Amino acid sequence: MQATRLLSLITLTILLACASLTHAQDWRAEGVERVVAIADVHGAYDAMVETLGNVGILNDDLEWAGGEAHLVIVGDLLDRGPRSRDALDLLMRIEEEAAMAGGKVHVLIGNHESMNMIGDLRYVSKAEYSAFADDETRVQRNRWFRAWARRDGGNRANQRDRFESEFPAGFFALREAFGPHGRYGKWLLQKNVVAVINGTAFVHGGLPPEVADIGLEGINRDLKQDLVDYVEAVATLTEAEVLLPTDAFYDHESIVNNYLPPLDAPQDVLDAVAAVTKLSDASVLHSDGPLWYRGNVACSEIVEAHRLEASLKAIGADRVVVGHTPTPTRKVLQRFDGRIVELDTGMLSFYYKGSGNALVMEGGELRVFNQSGADAYAPMAHPRGVGRRAGALSAEALQQLLETGEIVSKSRERSTGRTFVEVSDDTHTVTATFNKRRGKGFYPDVAAYRLDRLLGLDMVPVSALREVDGSDGSLQFFPEKSKDEAERSSSGRGGSAPCALPSQWEAMYVFDALIYNEGRSLQRMRYLPSRWNLILVEHERAFKAARGRPPHLAAAPMKISDGWREALAELTDGVLAEQLSDVLDKRRLKYLAVRRDQLLAE
């Protein structure tokens, strides 16, 4: 008996080890000669086909032609566009064809796949519902109408009309198809969140800080399991009509919290109620998880680079390819010396004004091929974007414009005392604030801007030395349509900023301590509402010849991260003198170095 039990235990251990190895092989691959990746199709089926055809993944008959290549879909096949279902069907077919040819198709879960499975249908288009209309039965619609009507407290006379308007033909067939036992839901729930191929990680949103703690297996096993468990729990509660297919994800938790189960309620229903309550805040479903996280592409290098390094180390990767956030140029971009590659170029052209681009990794090189067949290019550097400017001018071009452009207007804003000027080179016109020299050899806005560039902070707008109407001073680019912190906080907006506001504020505190800035008011903290990236303006009360911190920061906790330590250590006395001696006098330079050392000591 004991020998039999021992043999069974050994057999079980071997089976579990094999299963673990199978999963590990599924989400990690080495020695792949050719990798092709696309992101964020969003129902743009024709663009996807054209893009994959241009790189030899599909032939003219839409069959797998990639041989032993690996194709990676970096999430978001669904929503907004008209032909999401066609995209899914094509990939499900060529997945099998690729395997027979020795290749592989990696479809990664994006936030929009997750949304369709959990019942967040805010972005499903009419065409996507229509694609499921023929699958929907009258019996199915009538069942859910009766359930919906029992809960609805509206006028019975127009209930049917409202129901048909709110839940178009195909709605319930789509919900069923993306459930845990439906054709697409069952398939998607078998997919990974992250794949690592030849040392390159692929993930839809990004690698949030928690990845450093849980690693690759933790993402694809534990976090993904939270999604599986949630979808299965919702299906159980829907069959019991505790939840309805018409209930939105954001209402699930309150509905189950108000549910009073009868004494004979089945155990699986009770378990499902507990699961929905527990998992509603699971990171895989929310903005701090890998399906949604935008910090990799939105936070400045000094904030994000070391977080990313820790995450990459934890999953055994050298770089990460992400989608989710459309690139500002609609080209494939790279950040942090290529450790991040941004692949979402707005393939759904009518919505995002972009096109399909495929990233091809082969022979140690990265090349990008557009759906149009235009010449391939290497991923481009992500432009510094402190404030939106006409023509997407680079920081260098904008500085040149401020230094040499024609000043076409000048005005003073009485409420703030700001002097605004418009500067033009006949092609671009920008608005800037003019600040007179604050003392001999002292131009604080230019000093703050240059220091920002040295640190990799990316918060201070482009600033340049400039004489205006015979007065020596500087011009600082002023982002139009920006809002200050008082306006932001009173509106309650910014909570979903791609780079979390607390992370940005922490960086501002360290920067203001470094430059001893006594003038950081709410009006000198600005944001563009489209992204809520912090913009720090007007530094005339900074760079005091003093030790320590300005009074308002005396008790503030300073989070001197590894990124800050590295950046501050590179600000040697020689670098400071070389870069700032024409805009800061010797005494201010001396105390800047003193405060640098104090921060490093912390």
Summarised one tens digit per residue, pLDDT across range 191-218 is: 999 999 999 999 999 999 999 999 999 9
Specify if 119 maps to a domain: yes
In a shared domain, residues 189 and 58: yes
**Does the pLDDT at position 110 exceed 70?**
yes
In a shared domain, residues 455 and 515: yes
Please state, for a pLDDT cut of 90, what percent of the chain lies above it. 88
Q: Domain end: 351, 381, 411, which one?
A: 381
In a shared domain, residues 165 and 248: yes
**Does the pLDDT at position 278 exceed 80?**
yes
pLDDT recorded at residue 19:
40
Please state, for a pLDDT cut of 70, what percent of the chain lies above it. 95
Q: Which domain holds residue 196?
A: 33-151+161-381
In a shared domain, residues 541 and 427: yes
Evaluate whether 335 touches 489 at the Cβ level (below 8 Å).
no
In a shared domain, residues 400 and 272: no
d(CA 71, CA 92): 12
Summarised one tens digit per residue, pLDDT across range 524-566 is: 999 999 889 999 999 999 999 999 999 999 888 788 999 999 9
**Does the pLDDT at position 23 exceed 50?**
no
Specify if 541 maps to a domain: yes
pLDDT recorded at residue 25:
58
Q: Write the CATH number for 536.
A: 1.10.510
Specify if 20 maps to a domain: no
In a shared domain, residues 458 and 488: yes
DSSP-assigned letters across all residues of 267-313: HHHHHHHHHHHHHTT-GGGSTTSTTT--HHHHS-HHHHHHHHHHHHH
Structure tokens given for 57: 């993944």
Specify if 580 maps to a domain: yes
d(CA 28, CA 195): 6
Specify if 11 maps to a domain: no
**Does the pLDDT at position 247 exceed 50?**
yes
Domain tally, the chain: 2
Evaluate whether 571 touches 454 at the Cβ level (below 8 Å).
yes
In a shared domain, residues 181 and 257: yes
Average pLDDT of the residues of the chain: 93
SS3 category, 368: strand
Specify if 27 maps to a domain: no
In a shared domain, residues 358 and 394: no
In a shared domain, residues 331 and 478: no
Q: Domain end: 381, 414, 439, which one?
A: 381
SS3 category, 435: strand
In a shared domain, residues 109 and 172: yes
Summarised one tens digit per residue, pLDDT across range 475-510 is: 999 988 899 999 999 999 999 899 999 999 999 999
The residues assigned a catalytic role are 112
Q: Write the CATH number for 332.
A: 3.60.21.10
d(CA 538, CA 521): 10
Specify if 231 maps to a domain: yes
Q: Domain end: 355, 381, 407, which one?
A: 381
d(CA 232, CA 99): 29
In a shared domain, residues 377 and 400: no
Summarised one tens digit per residue, pLDDT across range 342-373 is: 999 999 999 999 999 999 999 999 999 999 99
Beta bridge partners of 64: 58
In a shared domain, residues 307 and 434: no
Least confident stretch, 1-15, 30-44, 81-95, 218-232: 1-15
Specify if 592 maps to a domain: yes
